[in-house]
Amino acid sequence: MRKRALVVGLGIAGMSAAIGLRAAGWTPVVVERAPERRQGGYFVGLLPDGRQAAIDLGIADDLHTRNPADGGRAWELDRRGNRAPGLGFLHQPGQPAAVVRGDIEAALWQGLGRAGTGARIDVRFATRPVELSDAGDIVRVLLRDGGTGEEYREEFDLVVGADGLRSDVRRLAFGPHARYIQDWDAMICAFQLPGQVPGYDDQDSIISARAGRAAWVFGFADRAPTALLTYRTADISGQFTGDRIERLRSVYSGMDDPVVRYVLDELERAPEFLFDSVHQVRMPRWSTGRVVLVGDAAWCLNLYSGMGATSALRGGAELGKALRSTPDDVRAALAAWEAALRPSILRHQRIAHLKQQMFVPSGRGTEAVRSFVLRLGGAARRRQLARELSASPAGSGRAS
């Protein structure tokens, strides 16, 4: 008999785990609390581990990437709003693939067989778990259909909690959020812009980063850029009171450069935006009995790490591989999976603090160092591109 797994959450981690489990001979059932699949989303840079996981899951050919030509240009704005070439997210080592979150999810959705190809995986929308009880050889789950209000019980050989930062599976199986979620005293607001900031090329990325607050615009090859506002504050609960746009206007007041002005004006017109606090999830174990967490639910690295989507893909793909290589012992498979993954997750959790300084410096000193380093990097990159151009046959032809 094929073993059944309940996968909670239809995000990157949940869909990756479901595809991985199916490849291992399991029958996954995915439940998603939202009434339908979400689309779009914000800029995500996918690093080599994530691209390899996409290949392992068989979705790489369906993954639409949007890297600007020649790596794209990034501009750094100074305190007077003047621009200088800098280094953007896509210029880091590993040549990240530029996508929006929805591109990864669309490819995974195809992989679930939901777009008319391959074996279809059962997906139930508007459904969430309300009770879990691990009986040793089986997990009994009480599920609630949010549409009809109906509650029903089912049994599974494994429950995979892929339900994000504020995971219900984690709360039900491991205990309260406060035990695992660390506050980072920072906020984000991410949304889709209707077009590029006036005066810049469509594919440009633009960064205006001051002490404690920053605005980023991420350019793509074939769609309008997305914007990210991120700032530091010790008063997280206070950020969720009152009107959010007024709150952001007040946080960014005095930072009157053309990019911040444009982003805030477009935020007022945006049909939707993500506004949330920044956290990391730290857990001593990612599984207990036959319940395992994956992705943000288990280790949320947060956006500053630039590795959340990559690690969610990899976590799901590797879970499938571990269950395939130890088919008769779920606990041993989960232990082996965690032992292989944990060192790199811990490393990225630590590095995220340093990367946060690149996104939003903590003070005037780090702002100056950051700006100096990135402008130096930008100049070095320009020189390198010029050298490559003059060394190439087409480049020397033009030069002569």
Ligand X SMILES: Cc1cc2nc3c(=O)[nH]c(=O)nc-3n(C[C@H](O)[C@H](O)[C@H](O)COP(=O)(O)OP(=O)(O)OC[C@H]3O[C@@H](n4cnc5c(N)ncnc54)[C@H](O)[C@@H]3O)c2cc1C
Which residue, 163 or 367, is less far from ligand X as judged by CB? 163
Does residue 173 contact residue 298 with C-beta atoms inside 8 Å? no
Taking the least distance from each CB to ligand X, the nearer of 128 and 381 is: 128
Report the 10 Å Cβ neighbour count for 143: 19
Q: CB of 22 within 8 A of CB of 3?
A: no
Question: What's the min distance (Å) between Cβ of 52 and ligand X?
Answer: 13
Structure-token pair, residue 248:
């952001």
- Give the shortest CB-43-to-ligand X separation in angstroms: 6
We find the least distance from the C-beta atom of residue 266 to ligand X, in angstroms, to be 16
Q: Which is nearer to ligand X, 163 or 266 (CB)?
A: 163
CB nearer to ligand X: give 56 or 168. 168
Q: Which is nearer to ligand X, 79 or 285 (CB)?
A: 285
Residues that bind ligand X (CB under 6 A): 8-14, 31-34, 42, 44-45, 101, 128, 162-164, 168, 188, 190, 228, 295-296, 303, 306-310, 312
- Residue closer to ligand X by CB (options 303, 333) is 303
Rg value, the chain, Cα? 22
- Minimum Å gap between C-beta 323 and ligand X is 19
Rounded least distance, CB 346 to ligand X, Å: 16
Give the shortest CB-157-to-ligand X separation in angstroms. Answer: 19
Closest separation in Å from C-beta 327 to ligand X: 25
Q: Which is nearer to ligand X, 276 or 379 (CB)?
A: 276
Contact assessment for residue 370 and residue 207, using Cβ atoms and an 8 Å cutoff: no
Mention every residue, 6+ apart, whose C-beta is less than 8 A from residue 30: 7, 8, 9, 10, 14, 15, 18, 112, 121, 122, 123, 124
CB atoms within 10 A of CB 95: 14
Q: Which is nearer to ligand X, 179 or 383 (CB)?
A: 179
Nearest-approach distance from CB 309 to ligand X, in angstroms: 3
> Shortest Cβ contact with ligand X: which residue?
308
